[in-house]
Amino acid sequence: MAAPALTSATLPGQAELQNFAHAAAQLLVERRLRSAGARTVARRAGVGIQHLDHRDYAPGDEVRHIDWRQTARSRRPIVRRFESETAADWTLLVDASSSMAVAGAAKWQAAVSMAAALSYALLQMGHRVGLLAFGARVLAQCPRGRGPQHYAAIARLLQGLRPAAGGEGSEPGVCARHLHGAASVFTISDFLAAGEMRRDLGVLQQRCGALHAVQLRDAADTRLALAGSGAGANAGAGEVELFDVETGAHLAAQASAGASEHAAAARAAMTQRLRGHCARSGVAFTDWDIAQPWQQALLQHLLRARSLC
């Protein structure tokens, strides 16, 4: 039977985006960069801040920031917003390989939610943000841009993408030539590849000032479906067909009663190797079980990353 067609991922709603941006604001304040190759953009004008755009007045805003002309036109209080004095360049790398399409593309939906929310929050802070979707090659790109209006371009790219059901590998290193001095690179992937993509992370790290890696983990990754295992069948042992969705390779095998547990242990060992590599290399790393809310996982990652990036 043919695999079901993947539908477009759902982006977080405006209220979710705003709440996350507010919660993450202090974690995304740019600090002095550690790498000579990283690019910081100074934005100083007059007293040190430059007008960015307008928004509705909120309790706590300074009265001196009210734009009285815009207020009169809209008949509601409008305040000016200003760019941060220092803004940095960020590039988000999102894995769109075939392993992200399995189990109803739950990992892809999770990746899209996290990428959208982080983009929105960074743009609200005045940073410049771009996005690359990768498989074995760069599949789509949104060049870096600034301002809340740039979020619409990133959102369109994310909603228009779908990981291929089969045949698309994972090589984040192919994105390196597109980075061009990005201060921070944020990679979202399941890292299901030979060597856990550690070599690719090394290539990326040479092209940025700070590297983040969030590994997506889904329980379905290690759940083995046994041939003929209906409600009355022995679900603990039987024949399985292993299929690599990225390479298309098939392998028939006999599964023992503890096959799923062994698969989960192997997956955990891969994560441990990747975690160790990131700790040694100064890469901010998070292993995210997508059953947990993306807001919690992303805030915790950004908090831990403050000590590294």
**pLDDT tens string 78-114:** 988 765 445 789 999 999 999 999 889 999 999 999 9
The 10s digit of each residue's pLDDT in 153-207 is: 999 999 999 999 888 999 999 999 999 777 899 999 999 988 999 999 999 999 9
pLDDT of residue 63: 85
Q: Is residue 214 part of a domain?
A: yes
pLDDT of residue 35: 39
Same domain, yes or no: 257 and 292: yes
Structural domain boundaries enclosing 68:
44-83
pTM of the model: 0.77
Same domain, yes or no: 119 and 215: yes
Q: Is residue 288 part of a domain?
A: yes
> Which amino acid makes up residue 33?
L
Same domain, yes or no: 145 and 193: yes
Same domain, yes or no: 79 and 91: no
Q: Is residue 267 part of a domain?
A: yes
pLDDT of residue 2: 42
Give the span between the Cα atoms of 179 and 91, in whole angstroms. Answer: 7
> Which amino acid makes up residue 96?
A
Average pLDDT per run of 10 along the chain, which is 309 residues long? 59 96 89 42 39 73 86 90 69 96 94 98 94 97 94 96 91 93 90 92 94 95 58 49 60 65 87 97 97 97 86
Q: Is residue 184 part of a domain?
A: yes
Q: Is residue 9 part of a domain?
A: no
Same domain, yes or no: 25 and 161: yes
